[in-house]
């Protein structure tokens, strides 16, 4: 079951063992977010290009990261990031971050989805971090409907909306204790994709799930 989506925001030359561990977990991976510089960066990064190639060879979907600033970032800037991810890192999927959740912003994301499809992308992941208006299920393959701490997650009740039209829901949780397996708690809350990491503070996605973290 490919139920893990990994947003790992560390450079491969600095954390090679961690990237090796991600690739070794390929059979479980729904996708891995490639994020060299809060996006693709201004020039290609050879280390990320190499790790992206290894992910593709392991049959893992490479998701290019782009920030949307909750619908405030110019469409052309986001599309430029997506084209760079495709051309520089061979990304075959998109991970849009800081995505608005309201119905009024939907046309902005519909335009981005159309641009992504036109650029040849096959998978669109939207990180709302909360439950969005159901219209977003029409354009996305994966919707991140929770991003936050384990303490907050434990207080989260069953989600009333569980997607539709084939979209998968994802929960990204940080500050997770080492003895916690998020698979069942996420499923109970309607998510079939997840990631649970121990990191806290401003940069939790510089850590891996306990089960993937290299030892020694």
Question: What predicted TM-score, i.e. pTM, was given to this entire model?
Answer: 0.96
Which of residues 215 and 72 earns the better pLDDT score?
72
Label each residue of 163-205 as H, E or C: CCCCCEEEEEEECCCCCCCCHHHHHHCCCCEEEEECCCCCCHH
> How does pLDDT run across 132-146, given as a tens digit for each residue?
999 999 999 999 999
> How does pLDDT run across 79-135, given as a tens digit for each residue?
999 999 999 999 999 999 999 999 999 999 999 999 999 999 999 999 999 999 999
Alpha-helix runs per DSSP H in the chain: 16-24, 46-57, 75-89, 106-118, 150-154, 183-188
Query: Model confidence at 216, in pLDDT bands (50, 70, 90)?
Result: low
DSSP 117: H
Q: Residue 180: how many CB atoms within 10 A of its CB?
A: 16
Query: What dihedral angle (degrees, nearest 10) is formed by the CA atoms of 55, 57, 58, 60?
Result: 50
Question: Rounded to 5 degrees, what are φ and ψ at 185?
Answer: -60, -40
């Amino acid at each position: 079951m490919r139920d893990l989506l990994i947003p790992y925001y560390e450079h491969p030359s600095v954390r090679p063992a961690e990237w090796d561990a991600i690739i070794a977990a390929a059979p479980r991976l729904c996708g891995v977010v490639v994020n060299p510089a809060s996006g693709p960066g201004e020039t290609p990064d050879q280390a990320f290009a190499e790790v992206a190639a290894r992910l593709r060879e392991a049959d893992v979907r490479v998701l290019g990261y782009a920030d949307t600033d909750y619908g405030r970032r110019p469409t052309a800037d986001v599309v430029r990031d997506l084209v760079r991810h495709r051309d520089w890192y061979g990304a075959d999927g998109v991970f849009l971050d800081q995505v608005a959740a309201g119905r009024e912003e939907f046309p902005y994301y519909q335009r981005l989805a159309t641009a992504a499809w036109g650029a040849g992308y096959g998978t669109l992941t939207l990180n709302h971090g909360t439950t969005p208006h159901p219209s977003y299920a029409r354009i996305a393959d994966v919707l991140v409907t929770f991003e936050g701490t384990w303490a907050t997650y434990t207080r989260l009740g069953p989600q009333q909306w569980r997607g539709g039209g084939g979209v998968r829901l994802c929960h990204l949780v940080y500050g997770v204790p080492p003895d916690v397996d998020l698979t069942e708690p996420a499923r109970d809350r309607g998510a079939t994709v997840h990631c649970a990491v121990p990191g806290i503070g401003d940069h939790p996605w510089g850590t891996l799930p306990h089960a993937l973290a290299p030892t020694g």
